[in-house]
Amino acid sequence: MPDLLDRLHTRAPIWSAGMGGGLAGPALTAAVCEAGGFGVLGCGGALPRAEVTRLIEQTRALTSRAFGANIILPMSDGSDVEACFDARVPVLVLFWGDVQPFVADAHRREMYVVAQCGGPDDAVAAADAGVDAVIVQGSEAGGHVRARAPLAETVTQAVRVLGPVPTIAAGGIATGADIATALAYGARGVSLGTRFLASREAAAHDAYKARVVAAGAEDTLMTELFDIGWPAAAHRVLRNATVVAWEGAGRPASGERPGEGEEIGTIGAGTERIGIPRYSVLPPVTDFDGDIEAAALYAGESVARIDAVDDAAAIMTTLMDELRAAT
């Protein structure tokens, strides 16, 4: 029986990650879909229901192809999921938590559900809940990371326990050779965050993209530091001034860190601008006005193999050419 990845009919088994806080918006999602991949809209980050609806409508205006919408469950009050249900987004991608309450409602609306998981235990729970595919992270990943082991281990184990439920690999993938390796572990597709963060269409601030391009894997670290808005959740970021000051202060606990309560910048929200406190979970988007070096600069170890900001279509072409050459 054809599974989700067969039904999506993409030219390449390449997904762009639904990077939240506004980073993976309609332009990136649609560009990846139009270039033969599967784009996922980043709706995570406690967006109001009307904003999620607007993002979905904008994406539909840019592409007639199927796309996904990502929701971060610990930051959701349910209204963002409702917006996805109302709009019947083809694929709902859920991260971090129990997906069981959403699967039947999605399937009733003829939507597919994908859970991003951190390893085989999570993956089995999601499969038992009836998801149509599982994205399995490795600890190399950028952004919030549920995985505790590298991709080679998490994907190999997940493929073994998941059986017919397709596994999509995420974490540390930035080239066609990386994709070939993930497919050799048994993954049916791959999901790339950091590589598409360094695309012209990603809605990250230019200075943030420049940091991603300049960085090596050793410039990233796993931490729980940027916790305002989503506490006690590990994430991989670039080491910056906020990280260095916290490390220099002896890594104090939340509430006792250097510069707690300071505003490090503002972002637009509708017709207003809202302040971003130091240690906020929100990344610097295009219109961020403030100190980039103080903000959460999510990025994965794959920064090591990213040398330029390119159009998403050019990234897709390069990845497909490299994948053909590697297989």
Ligand X SMILES: Cc1cc2nc3c(=O)[nH]c(=O)nc-3n(C[C@H](O)[C@H](O)[C@H](O)COP(=O)(O)O)c2cc1C
- 170 near ligand X (CB under 6 A): yes
**Strands of the chain, DSSP E:** 14-16, 38-42, 68-72, 91-95, 112-117, 133-137, 143-144, 167-170, 189-192, 220-223, 235-238, 263-269, 272-277, 289-290
- 19 near ligand X (CB under 6 A): yes
- 13 near ligand X (CB under 6 A): no
Task: Say which residue the tokens 């572990």 belong to.
Answer: 185
Residue 20, phi-psi category: left (phi > 0), alpha (psi -120 to 50), beta (remainder): beta
Tabulate helix, strand, coil % of the chain (nearest 5): 40, 20, 40
> Closest approach of Cβ 232 to ligand X, in Å?
16
- 52 near ligand X (CB under 6 A): no
Q: Which is nearer to ligand X, 8 or 203 (CB)?
A: 203
Other beta carbons within 10 angstroms of residue 255's beta carbon come to: 8
With CB under 6 A as the contact rule, the residue among 116, 139, 167, 175 that binds ligand X is 116
Distance CA 237, CA 168 (A): 22
Task: Please answer whether residues 91 and 110 qualify as being in contact, where contact means their C-beta atoms are separated by less than 8 angstroms.
Answer: no
Q: Which is nearer to ligand X, 210 or 258 (CB)?
A: 210
Q: Which is nearer to ligand X, 235 or 278 (CB)?
A: 235
> Closest approach of Cβ 205 to ligand X, in Å?
12
Q: Which is nearer to ligand X, 70 or 156 (CB)?
A: 70
Tell me which stretch binds ligand X (CB under 6 A): 4-12, 29-37, 138-146, 238-246.
138-146
- 192 near ligand X (CB under 6 A): yes
Helices (H) and strands (E) in the chain, counts: 12, 14
Distance CA 229, CA 244 (A): 21
- 302 near ligand X (CB under 6 A): yes
- Residues contacting residue 39 through CB under 8 Å, at least 6 positions apart: 15, 16, 24, 28, 29, 30, 31, 32, 33, 59, 63, 67, 68
Q: Which of 212, 234, 29 is nearest to 137 (CA)?
A: 234
> Closest approach of Cβ 250 to ligand X, in Å?
28
The alpha-carbon radius of gyration of the chain (Å, integer) is 18
Tell me which stretch binds ligand X (CB under 6 A): 118-126, 134-142, 242-250, 257-265.
134-142
Q: Which is nearer to ligand X, 107 or 305 (CB)?
A: 305
- 171 near ligand X (CB under 6 A): yes
Question: How distant is the alpha carbon of residue 199 from its chain centre?
Answer: 14
Strand order in the sheet with 263-269: 272-277, 263-269, 289-290
Site string for ligand X, 72-91 (x = CB under 6 A): x-------------------
Total of chain residues touching ligand X, rule CB under 6 A? 32
Q: Which is nearer to ligand X, 116 or 181 (CB)?
A: 116
Q: Which is nearer to ligand X, 258 or 305 (CB)?
A: 305
Q: Which is nearer to ligand X, 101 or 252 (CB)?
A: 101
- 142 near ligand X (CB under 6 A): yes
Question: Could you give the 3-state DSSP secondary structure of residue 203?
Answer: coil
With CB under 6 A as the contact rule, the residue among 37, 42, 119, 229 that binds ligand X is 42
- 194 near ligand X (CB under 6 A): yes
- 68 near ligand X (CB under 6 A): no
With CB under 6 A as the contact rule, the residue among 4, 23, 35, 281 that binds ligand X is 23
Q: How is residue 299 written in tokens?
A: 């990025």
- Given the rule CB under 6 A, which residues bind ligand X? 17-20, 23, 42, 44, 70, 72, 95, 116, 137, 140-144, 170-173, 191-195, 197, 283, 298-300, 302
